[in-house]
Each structure stands twice: as C-alpha cells, then as structure tokens.
A and B are shown apart, each in its own frame.
Chain A
Amino acid sequence: MASPEYVVLAVEAEKGGEHRETVATLEDALDTVRHLAVEIVEGGRKPLRFEIACTTPGVKVRSRGTPRYRFFVNARGEGAGGDGSELDPWAAPDTAAEQLAAHHRKGVLELREGQRIRLVHHDTFGATSLERRKKAAEGLARVVFSFVVAAMIIPVLAIIGYLFYRAWPVLSWSFIFRNPEAYMTAGGIWAPLVGTFYLAIISLLIDAPIGILAAIYLNEYAPDNWFTRTINLAVLNLAGVPSIVHGLFGFGAFVLFARMGKSVLAASCTLAVMSLPVIVTSAREALASVPMSFREACWNMGATRWQTIRTIVLPNSMSGILTGVIFEICRTAGETAPILFTGAVFYYSGLAESGVDWLLPYGLFDTCMALQYHLFALTTQVRGVSEEIQFGTAAVLIALTLCINSVSISLRVYLRSRKKW
C-alpha cells in the first residue's frame, strides 16, 4: 500500500493563476500553504483559495464536490483571534496554517484519501455570503411583520375614517343634544347618550368598591392555598363568560329574582358583574407594583395591615387602579347584549326637550335608552332612517369610546412619569 501524498493547490484571485505542489505529509502541506501565500502576496497579487487534497499516488485529485473541511481567512477581519469559521475567520493564512497544524497534532483534524481541505481567502470589509444571507433574511422578516401590522392598522383606520366621512352631514351640536324624534327616524341622540352615561356611572359606583376591595384581598390578605387559587380561577372564568349569558343572568337574577324589573338599576348591576373581573385584575396589578419593603417597614412600626394599605399601598397605587377602572367601565358601557333584556329600550315616550328632565330623563327603576342599543335598533329594526343618522350614531359612539379611553391612557402615561420611587 503506497502511503498517501498531499497535493497543495493555491488559486489566485486575478486571472485564476494556479500553483500546485505535492508533498508527503500534512504538516508539509500546511507549510507549503504558508509559503505560497507569502509568494503570492509579495508578488502583489491576492490569493483566492488554497486546497490540500489527500490522494494515493497516481490517482487524480478530484476537485469537484464539497471539501471535507472548509475554513476561512479574512485579511481585514477583526482581531487576532477567530476559529476559521465563516462568521469568525482567521486574519491571515499564517494563523490558519498554525491553527490547522495544532488541530492536526491534537488529532482533531484528519485527512483521508480522497478528502480535501479548502481554505477560502477573503480580503473584504463586507459580509461573507452567509452573513449576507442572514442579513437578507432578517430584513425580509422585518418587512413581512411590518406588513402584517400595517395590514391590520390601515384598514381599521380607513374604516373609522369612512364612518366619520359618511356621518359628517349629520354631525352637529344639535344632533348630540336633541332627543330622537318622529319614531327615531329623525332628530338627535341625546337621550340614548345620557342613558349610556347613566349605565356607566351607576355600574362604576357598584363595581369600584367591590372590585378594589376584592383586589386588596387577593393581593394583601389572601393566603397561598387552594381556595385562593379557586378564586383566581373564578375571576378568570368570569371574564370569559359571553356577554349574552351575562344578559341572561341579569334577567334571571336582577330583573326577576331581585324584582328590580327591567330598569336602569338591573342593567347597571348586570354590567357591573361583567366588568368586575377586569377591574379586580388591573387593580391587583396596581397594588402589586408597590414594593413589599414599604409594607414591611410599616408593619414593623406597629401599623396594622389595613392601616398600611390605607396610608401607603392604596395612595401609591390609586392612579393605576383608577385608570384600570375607567378603561374597563368604558368598555362595558359600550356593551349591548347585557342590557338587551335588563333595561334598555328603543322607544321611550315622554322625553322632555329642556330643563332637568331633559338632562336626567331616567329614574333608577325606569327603563332607559342607550346609545349602543340605539345604533343596533336603528340599523336593524327601524325603517326609514337615513343612513347619515345611522353613521352619525356610530360615529358618536366610537368618538365617545375613543375619547374617554384616550384620556385614561394619557392619564396612565402621565402618572407613570411621576413615579415616586
């Protein structure tokens, strides 16, 4: 068996000039690479790649196919380190030869017959092909995701714009402040607007104390046991109950069982139960943001849990709690399904045009109109309503929601910038 020999090939960048040498051992081959590199550089030319092929004497070297090993040199690479990989190349053929020799001595680098080592030589600041590919993929990812977001936001903005555009002819102060007339086919939306406010405010008055106290319980008092976990589960599930089921519950519990009848009160209670879980959750987050060390400092001074909550925890989380409450109440104030059977009506007789009765048309046990229900009925149940009025109602409803929510969000941003610790 003839012992293998090593064929060293050096290819230059320009004109593809080639040098070939045959040596007996791998170490010699690496040395040859070194001196060939020096030769080429001193001749004012640039090396492109070096290859070491292991063959049996007499057998032709195959230069097709992927080499067994591929290493990289970038003369303008950073630093003296590198491991010869494409992303972290060696800085010079010298280093390459040294490192490869070291690998070979350690037994890590073995070249068998038919196998080749290729040493690619770059002299650029630019990225290697791998880096370029990765950069392209990243750019593509960015574009794709931006497109996704734009595809979401732009149509929505367009829709809202279109709503206001169609509503424009009818939007005016008198539209807002006058009551509906002629069986709801003309006039304004004042009474339904007030009705929505009634529902929002009354459900807020019911919800805020219970929700905040419940959040205080869960964050400040509740022990870490199965019962507390059940409460947390209940909060989550309450949040997931469909709005129409809340409506059914409200009907069965408040309208029938509690004998409130179809009324503002029954509808507000129903909305309150619906928004409770979100208020509890956001109040909890606000409470949890107050550091534990404050509470401990107070307890060690002899303050009771409630004193600590009242004097330190609540005041410092109130802003977060309030913004959460306002946000959620606004959201539920726009809900229609819960009030369908518990208090909202479309036709309401005896609306005043001025005076206190105009400002406050409903009593606690009266049914009421509500803007969200008004929109629904206008578009699906009444004939002869101009499209402008329909769009106008929708526009006012959206504007109302967006305004109040923007206020609550700005409040939150402002308060966050005034952190006390």
Chain B
Amino acid sequence: MATDPVPQIAEAIRLWSGVTCPNAAGKRGLEDFCALIKDFEAQRGTLVFEDEPSTFEAALRAEAESEA
C-alpha cells in the first residue's frame, strides 16, 4: 500500500462513481480508511462460506425474547 493512499482512493471514486472529492472533510474521511482496512484484515477468516445477509432476520426470530 502506498504511504498516502488518499489520492489513489479519491481517483478510484471519481473513476468508478463519478463523484469528486468535495472538500477537506472528504479528504479527512478517507484518512480513516487505512484503519478500516486493518479492521477488516483482523476479521479475515471469520466469514463462513455459507453466510449470507438473509440470516439476520432469521437470527432475530431465533433469538427473540420469550417473555412478552
């Protein structure tokens, strides 16, 4: 990873989404992304092959409070 990935990320956003960095706050927000990538690295291996988003609603029902 480059020392300062912010310009690359901003360019990728412009290329993929057609949105340009609006201001200093936009740049500041991207500075958090190195930490975000690290956080995701820490979770690698926890996603199970069969996991899918629809399990959330099922889990809500499975773990529901039994006493009304």
A and B are partners in one complex rather than unrelated chains: no
Binding site for B on A (CB under 8 A): none
